[in-house]
Structure 1
Amino acid sequence: MSHTAPQSTRAITGAARDTGRLLAEAFAERGAQVFLSARALAAARQVAGAISRRGAGGADAFHCDLAVPDSVRGFAAAVADRTSHLDVLVNNGAPYIDGADLADATDDTIESVMAAGGTGTVLLTKHLLPLLRASARPDVVNMISACGEVGHRRSGALPAFYAAKHAHAGLADILSHRLRPEGIRVISLFPPDFVQDGPRRADSDLTAQSVVDCVIFAVGQPRDCFIREFHFEQVMSPSDNNGTHDQSSSR
């Protein structure tokens, strides 16, 4: 009697554009069923439709605003309605806000940034843990940011974004320790400001595709290989010596 292995499943937040979309496409190209979410449901549906038409894997689109707990719980429940297990959760969604001066941001903006990057990510991970525990190869991938590294000051992000990313990094650190005995790998990436497209040379800015390649590599490793973190050396420019940095890259 032949037994067909269950289809690989992945859930990704912030997957309607840029790096999140690239990740969703990369997973689907390898035959996975992808549950992708975004604040803009119409945009998420466009991505899911494009993925499904390619035929390798499949995709379902969902609304999820990480700053709204009910929305987070709704996304988790919708995923649970469609699968009995989740192989990979990618915590990618988080609003990036420029701003050197904390006083320039409204209270609502600060609250939204902190809620999405902190509370929303914690809640989604919590509510999807049962599905991850039901998988034979569970991974939690955290797309954090160099802003979550101690001592990193080169981004022009709002201080609240730095705070949210440090919260995300703290969650990833303790979950890696506590979930390790269960065989759940917690993989975190701390990319600096990077570009969506570029030549991918040694003297060039990090590209989104290279970040995606790191994720694909990490989740593809045998189960005895726990890669906890990816840290990246950032390209130095002449302006860095003067204490400034070009913040034109996409996040």
Structure 2
Amino acid sequence: MTLEHRRVVITAAGRDFGRTLALRFAGLGAEVYLSARTLEGAERVRGEIRDQGPDGVAERVHAFACDLTDPASIRAFAAAVAERTDHIDVLVNNGARYQHGPDLLSAADEDIVDTLASGAAGTVLMTKNFLPLLLKSDRPDIVTMVSGCGEAGHHRSDAHASFYAAKSAQAGFTEILSKRLRSQGVRVISLYPPDFDNHDPLSPAWQEAPRSARDPLTAQSLVDCILFAIGQSRDCFIKSFHFEQA
């Protein structure tokens, strides 16, 4: 699959799965607008893409700082992207702070607020601020990495209840958005993975041996789900991916 001429925004791309997404999308030819909480984090991933990619790839990758807990920072990110392009084709809402701890009392109030702000309000505000650019595309897609913690009845994670709350908010937001934006041709795609193996996409393990049902879900499989969904004809609206957890 090639993503040439696709313009993709990815949040929280400075590490972990966001970095994986940025490396894979750029490797497939997309023009990538990646953000991280600090500009240094975003620039580091841009440098990795530049060092690993073909000549000219650096011109297709743009790095920005964006704090998903700060509405002004989100607005500034969207405005900066709008100065460089008249539309975007894919928005990937990947960013959300993880909070560990099954004990409700284990997290400080400030950490709970930060978790809810980044995952819930941050996702809503990112989508709101980038929607004008998406509506100028002839193939707009919004992809949100929700998590199994956003599924009703899920209880297998050791994540803090505030993380569950943030992910449930994302799930509710994307559910209504999918219905309300369909008439405008915008596909809203949500993924609900359990904990997964985010191995380094630059390592040989990315082209790994065949896996079995006993193996944990991998980042590679999640990226492939996203690529499959956005690669479908525009009459095909894949709303969500749900996964069994071993």
User: How far, CA to CA, are the matches of 1:170 and 1:106 in structure 2?
Assistant: 25
User: How far, CA to CA, are the matches of 1:66 and 1:179 in structure 2?
Assistant: 23
Residue of 220, 226, 237 corresponding to 2:231: 220
Shift of 1:18: 1.7
CA contact (8 A) 1:64 1:71 kept: yes
Q: In the alignment, which residue of structure 2 is the partner of 1:15?
A: 13
What secondary structure, in the 3-state scheme, does the structure 1 residue paired with 2:102 have? coil
Q: Deviations over 1:125-166 (max 9, x none)?
A: 001000000001000000000000000000000000000000
Q: In the alignment, which residue of structure 2 is the partner of 1:3?
A: none
TM-score, normalised on structure 2?
0.90
Shift of 1:62: 0.6
Give the 5 Å matches for 1:174-185: 174-185=176-187
Q: Count the aligned residue pairs.
A: 230
Shift of 1:49: 2.1
TM-score, normalised on structure 1?
0.88
RMSD: 1.4
Residue of 124, 139, 159 corresponding to 2:141: 139
Uncovered stretches (5+) of structure 1, i.e. residues with no partner: 1-5, 236-251
Residue of 173, 188, 191 corresponding to 2:190: 188
User: How far, CA to CA, are the matches of 1:26 and 1:222 in structure 2?
Assistant: 21
Q: In the alignment, which residue of structure 1 is the partner of 2:202?
A: none
Q: In the alignment, which residue of structure 1 is the partner of 2:124?
A: 122
Match of 2:28, as an amino acid? Answer: R
Whether 1:39 and 2:41 are equivalent positions in the alignment is no
Shift of 1:216: 1.0
Q: In the alignment, which residue of structure 1 is the partner of 2:109?
A: 107
User: How far, CA to CA, are the matches of 1:150 and 1:12 in structure 2?
Assistant: 26
Uncovered stretches (5+) of structure 2, i.e. residues with no partner: 200-204
User: How far, CA to CA, are the matches of 1:52 and 1:140 in structure 2?
Assistant: 26
Shift of 1:209: 1.3
Match of 1:223, as an amino acid? Answer: R
Q: In the alignment, which residue of structure 2 is the partner of 1:26?
A: 24
User: How far, CA to CA, are the matches of 2:105 and 2:39 in structure 1?
Assistant: 32
Shift of 1:201: 2.3
User: How far, CA to CA, are the matches of 1:7 and 1:216 in structure 2?
Assistant: 15
Q: Deviations over 1:163-217 (max 9, x none)?
A: 0000011110011000001110000000001111386422111111111111111
Shift of 1:40: 2.5
Identity %: 57
